[in-house]
């Protein structure tokens, strides 16, 4: 296994279990403990984790912006399951906005059998994924490229979105918290998502279980702006009560 792939899997394990231990990682990946320590050192330098005695925990900073290459493999099974459900709620001929999240990318992969879709996105990866779909009208927002997410951000991207009115916005978040709301780690990315919410008749929020009860740096929308939540694990009764009070449909 390449070192970059091993580090991605370490992040995925941290998001699932909150902490990792060097000896266990050494056995899991069949490498020396010194190799694991070097992996953890690199991840700490990138601001993604904090090393602790004998292991590591995820960084608690609310503005840590995890690169797309890592997010793409984090809870991939859950995101794929969510995407399959979302595709069932998309009809031929609809107009959509997709954000630059790894969850939205999974949705794009499930949209290919559809017909006559118009897809607006600030994601280079979504544009590329759908580029061979000859029956689709693909619109890129343009803007300033954010390299670690391959997304377009800034006023140009926001203004492009504000020129459109679409059937559905398909977005994800970094944090989903009862008290704080729906949040993202990057302020400029959050502004783009705000514009997407405002441009859509219906908002689909995609949340894999690693986002629940987390809070990130910037709130970009509130619960009452969401129409559907698609998730991979059942919410607690308290969460279900809050979601239903805001007239949101939950799709498990």
Domains with residue ranges and CATH for the chain: 3-60 (1.10.10.10), 70-251 (3.40.50.1360)
pLDDT of residue 71: 60
Give backbone dihedrals phi and psi of 248, rounded to 5 degrees, phi first: -100, 135
Asked which of 33-42, 53-62, 157-166 is least confident by mean pLDDT, the reply is 53-62
What's the pTM? 0.78
pLDDT of residue 216: 87
Q: Is the pLDDT of residue 16 over 80?
A: no
H-only helix segments in 140-236: 155-162, 187-199
Other CB atoms within 10 Å distance of the CB of residue 137:
12
Report the alpha-carbon distance of residue 72 to residue 60 in Å, rounded.
21
Give the orientation angle of helix 187-199 with respect to helix 155-162, to 10 degrees.
10
Strands 49-52, 55-58: pairing is: antiparallel
pLDDT of residue 173: 94
pLDDT digits (tens, 9 = 90+) for 56-74: 887 655 555 666 666 655 6
pLDDT of residue 119: 98
pLDDT digits (tens, 9 = 90+) for 210-245: 889 988 889 999 999 999 999 999 999 999 999 999
Strands 19-21, 55-58: pairing is: antiparallel
pLDDT of residue 141: 98
Report the alpha-carbon distance of residue 250 to residue 230 in Å, rounded.
6
pLDDT of residue 149: 87
pLDDT of residue 73: 58
- pLDDT over 90, % of the chain: 72
Q: Which of helix, strand or coil describes residue 49?
A: strand
Average pLDDT of the chain, as a whole number: 91
More confident residue, 48 or 105: 105
Report the alpha-carbon distance of residue 197 to residue 31 in Å, rounded.
45
> Is residue 235 left, alpha or beta, with left meaning phi > 0 and alpha meaning psi from -120 to 50?
beta
Q: What is the mean pLDDT of residues 110-125?
A: 97
Cα-Cα-Cα-Cα dihedral of 83, 111, 172, 57, to 10°?
A: 50
Q: Which of helix, strand or coil describes residue 247?
A: coil
More confident residue, 3 or 160: 160
């Amino acid at each position: 296994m390449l070192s970059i792939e091993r580090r991605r899997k370490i992040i995925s394990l941290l998001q699932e279990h909150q902490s990792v231990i060097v000896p266990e990682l050494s056995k899991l990946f069949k490498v020396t403990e010194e190799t694991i320590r070097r992996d953890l050192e690199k991840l700490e330098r990138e601001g993604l984790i904090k090393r602790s005695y004998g292991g590591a925990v995820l960084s608690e900073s609310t503005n840590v912006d995890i690169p797309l290459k890592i997010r793409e493999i984090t809870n991939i099974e859950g995101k794929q399951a969510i995407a399959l459900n979302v595709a069932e709620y998309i009809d031929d001929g609809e107009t959509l906005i997709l954000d630059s999240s790894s969850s939205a990318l999974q949705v794009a992969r499930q949209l290919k059998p559809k017909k006559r879709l118009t897809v607006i996105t600030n994601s280079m990866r979504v544009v590329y994924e759908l580029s061979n779909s000859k029956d689709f009208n693909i619109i890129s927002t343009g803007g300033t490229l954010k390299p670690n997410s391959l997304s377009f951000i800034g006023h140009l991207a926001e203004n492009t979105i504000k020129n459109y009115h679409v059937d559905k916005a398909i977005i994800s978040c970094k944090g989903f918290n009862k008290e704080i709301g729906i949040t993202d780690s990057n302020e400029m990315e959050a502004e783009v998502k705000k514009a997407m919410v405002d441009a859509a008749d219906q908002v689909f929020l995609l949340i894999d279980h690693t986002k629940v009860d987390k809070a990130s740096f910037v709130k970009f929308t509130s619960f009452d702006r969401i129409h559907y939540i698609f998730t991979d694990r059942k919410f607690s009764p308290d969460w279900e009560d809050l979601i239903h009070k805001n007239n949101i449909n939950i799709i498990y």
